[in-house]
Amino acid sequence: MPLPSMKPRYAVFGQPIAHSLSPRIHAMFGAQFGIEVDYRAIETGRDEFARALAAFARDGGVGANVTLPLKADAFALCATRSARAQRCGSVNTLTRDGDAWRGDSTDGVGFLRDLERLGFDARGRRVLLLGAGGAARAVAFTLVDADPRELMIVNRTRERTAELARALRFDGVFGCEPAQVGTLDGRYDLVVNATSAGHAGAAFDLPARLLERDALCYDLSYGHAARSFLAWAREAGAKTASDGLGMLVDQAAESFAIWHGRRPQTRAILDALRDC
Ligand code: NDP
């Protein structure tokens, strides 16, 4: 337990983490309420994560976000978890609770708020979801709650697709491997890239005929990692092509509300980040 005199500390853990905008976003949230937030980025791989998190708690750490590749480890390290973290099997927000950590997942809420901002309602629509990792799981549960006509999950590792499809318990869920995408029938209203392939600079390609005329294409990543998917989406004729910056800001706002009991405004912060 941190000593009562210690200043509460917050951090984001991940690897790589130097690019993270989270420290800036939380500082801007704090400024809205006149709170000086001590929120840092801590570079940590999977092997050192448990030790680094314990050291953080000893030094006054009371709240943490985790990103690639630590979400499954964070899930396992938590003594208790929120219902939504339990449901999607992923944790991105840790809150100190006595001598232990409580886990939550704010990715789904962040994604939903950004879809709303973009004016997209998934009810009755056909959705293609690329990826079945931690973030894809949070997004998939959010999407099925909106009652789409179909959710097609495309992922490299077949077992992960099958496990997610089972967990969703939704009649309109299907799965396939990337090599089968070319054989899919019909057009999709929403294509979500929830793979981390863009971080390694992988080129993105799908048949353009898969897009409905007013389709929204959404990449969870942002910056250079989203470039190839967004270029494909525009070339393929998507009505809207969006990166995941809005989701990032809104999932951070949800974490901030969990820790500080106050919900920041996100629109101005998103605009400020886009202007940089
Ligand atoms: P995970 O490591 O949990 O999952 C990675 C996913 O990407 C898996 O489905 C994996 O497939 C797939 N993948 C990785 N490399 C390739 C490749 N070369 N080709 C095809 N598929 C590949 O990561 P997360 O789910 O945590 O993150 C996924 C993405 O979402 C990242 O880009 C991350 O930055 C972004 N993100 C954005 C957020 C935001 O707020 N905007 C929040 C959370 C994540 P397989 O199962 O076969 O290994």
User: What is the 3-state secondary structure of the chain?
Assistant: CCCCCCCCEEEEEECCCCCCCHHHHHHHHHHHHCCCCCEEEEECCCCCHHHHHHHHHHCCEEEEEECCCCHHHHHHHCCEECHHHHHHCCCCEEEEECCEEEEECCHHHHHHHHHHHCCCCCCCCEEEEECCCHHHHHHHHHHHHCCCCEEEEECCCHHHHHHHHHHHCCCCEEEECHHHHHHCCCCEEEEEECCCHHHHCCCCCCCHHHEEEEEEEEECCCHHHHHHHHHHHHHHCCCEEECCHHHHHHHHHHHHHHHHCCCCCCHHHHHHHHHC
Give the atom of ligand 1 at the shortest distance from the alpha carbon of 246.
Answer: 41
Domains detected in the chain: 9-105+248-274 (3.40.50.10860), 108-243 (3.40.50.720)
Residue 38 Cα to ligand 1 middle (Å):
28
| Predicted local confidence at residue 205, as pLDDT | 86
Antiparallel, parallel or unpaired: β 61-66 and 93-97: antiparallel
Residue 3 has pLDDT above 80, yes or no: no
Nearest CA to ligand 1 atom 23: 133
Counting ligand 1 atoms within 8 A of each CB, the residue from 12, 180, 196 with the most, and so the one to mutate, is 196
In 3D, which of 179, 178, 176, 227 has the Cα closest to residue 202?
227
Residue 2 has pLDDT above 60, yes or no: no
Residue 47 has pLDDT above 80, yes or no: yes
For the segment 120-143, the average pLDDT, to the nearest whole number, is 97
For residue range 226-268, what is the model confidence (pLDDT) as tens digits? 999 999 999 999 999 999 999 999 999 999 999 999 999 999 9
Res. 201 pLDDT band, cuts 50 70 90: confident
At 78, give phi and psi (nearest 5°): -80, 140
Between these two residues, 103 and 134, which has the higher pLDDT value? Answer: 103
For residue 228 and ligand 1, the question of a CB distance below 6 A is answered with no
For the segment 101-120, the average pLDDT, to the nearest whole number, is 98
Residue 60 has pLDDT above 70, yes or no: yes
Nearest CA to ligand 1 atom 17: 197
| Predicted local confidence at residue 19, as pLDDT | 86
For residue range 71-99, what is the model confidence (pLDDT) as tens digits? 999 999 999 999 999 999 999 999 999 99
Res. 4 pLDDT band, cuts 50 70 90: low
Give the atom of ligand 1 at the shortest distance from the alpha carbon of 251.
Answer: 40
* 71 assigned to active site: yes
The chain-wide mean pLDDT, for the chain, equals 95
Res. 1 pLDDT band, cuts 50 70 90: low
| Predicted local confidence at residue 249, as pLDDT | 98
For the segment 26-50, the average pLDDT, to the nearest whole number, is 98
Between these two residues, 76 and 134, which has the higher pLDDT value? Answer: 76
Residue 20 has pLDDT above 70, yes or no: yes
Residue 23 contacts by C-beta under 8 Å, 6 or more apart in sequence? 12, 39, 40, 41
| pTM, two decimal places | 0.95
Residue 194 contacts by C-beta under 8 Å, 6 or more apart in sequence? 129, 130, 131, 132, 133, 135, 136, 139, 220
Select which of 71, 96, 126, 137 is catalytic: 71
Nearest CA to ligand 1 atom 1: 133
Counting ligand 1 atoms within 8 A of each CB, the residue from 130, 156, 195 with the most, and so the one to mutate, is 195
Distance between CA atoms of 11 and 100, rounded to whole angstroms? 16
For the segment 187-212, the average pLDDT, to the nearest whole number, is 93
| Predicted local confidence at residue 202, as pLDDT | 83
| Predicted local confidence at residue 5, as pLDDT | 64
